Structure 1
Amino acid sequence: MTATTTRFRFAVSEVEVATDLPRRRRRITPELGRALEKLNHAIEYLTDEYIHQGSSITELNDHACTVDLLKTLRKQIYLDAPEVLPFAQRCKTFLTQLFA
């Protein structure tokens, strides 16, 4: 599922996010979840605003810089969340501690 169209340079898709982030799951607290949700809404709003306005190239650069900044912030918030160990790693750790 794509969050926005990919016709514009600053379009955001799940594929783009997935390739930029490590494969490990993160433990997202309710506070982090709200922050990520608000950032996603801001990115979507700015993208939609540009599409509906038919803005000039100068405004495109402003929008693109703003969206890039928000995407970087979103990525940093996500990466700051603690990682969830894969099931196999948790089992290995448990068995190691059990038989140590």
Structure 2
Amino acid sequence: MEGGKDESTVSRFSDTFPETLEVVRRRQISPQQGRAIEMLAHAIEYLGDEFALECLQSGLQELSCIPPQIVAIRMLMDRNREVYFACPEVPTLMERLRSWLPLLKADTQD
């Protein structure tokens, strides 16, 4: 530990948060896409709860193969991301202002 910091914690933190942060973009989600995302989230939660309960009841300590519940959860999560990323991004306030500036300049020059 240098300077009071645990190096393993620092490396895990830097892996989680890259040095260059991306702008968080909102997406315009239609009612149908919102419903699909909601249904997928419920299915993921249900399978996760079911699997956790099964593990607790059976006392599984180590799994030698990937259980089908985990495969199903992974598939649902992938589909959830597909639906979400298919939604169009909402322009940021700065992008909207930049698109209006040329229009404002043209109006003042007339």
TM-score by length of 2: 0.64
| Aligned residue identity for 1:45 | Y
With a CA cutoff of 8 Å and minimum separation of 6, indicate the structure with the bigger relative contact order: 2
Q: Which has the larger radius of gyration?
A: 2
- 1:72 is displaced (CA, Å) by 0.6
Seq. identity, %? 35
**Alignment partner, residue 93 of structure 1:** 99
Show structure 1 runs of 4+ deviating over 6 A: none
Q: Which of the residues 62, 76, 92 maps onto 2:68? A: 62
The correspondence of residues 26-41 of structure 1 with structure 2, limited to 5 A, is 26-41=27-42
Aligned residue type for 1:92: R
| Structure 1, 65-74 or 37-46: larger mean CA deviation | 65-74
In the TM superposition, 1:11-90 aligns within 5 A as: 23-54=24-55, 57=63, 61-90=67-96
Unaligned ranges ≥5, structure 2? 1-22
CA distance in 2, matches of 1:88, 1:38: 33
Q: Deviations over 1:54-91 (max 9, x none)?
A: 26637852111111111111001000001000001101
Give the counterpart letter for 1:43 in structure 2.
I
Calculate the TM-score normalised by the size of structure 1: 0.70
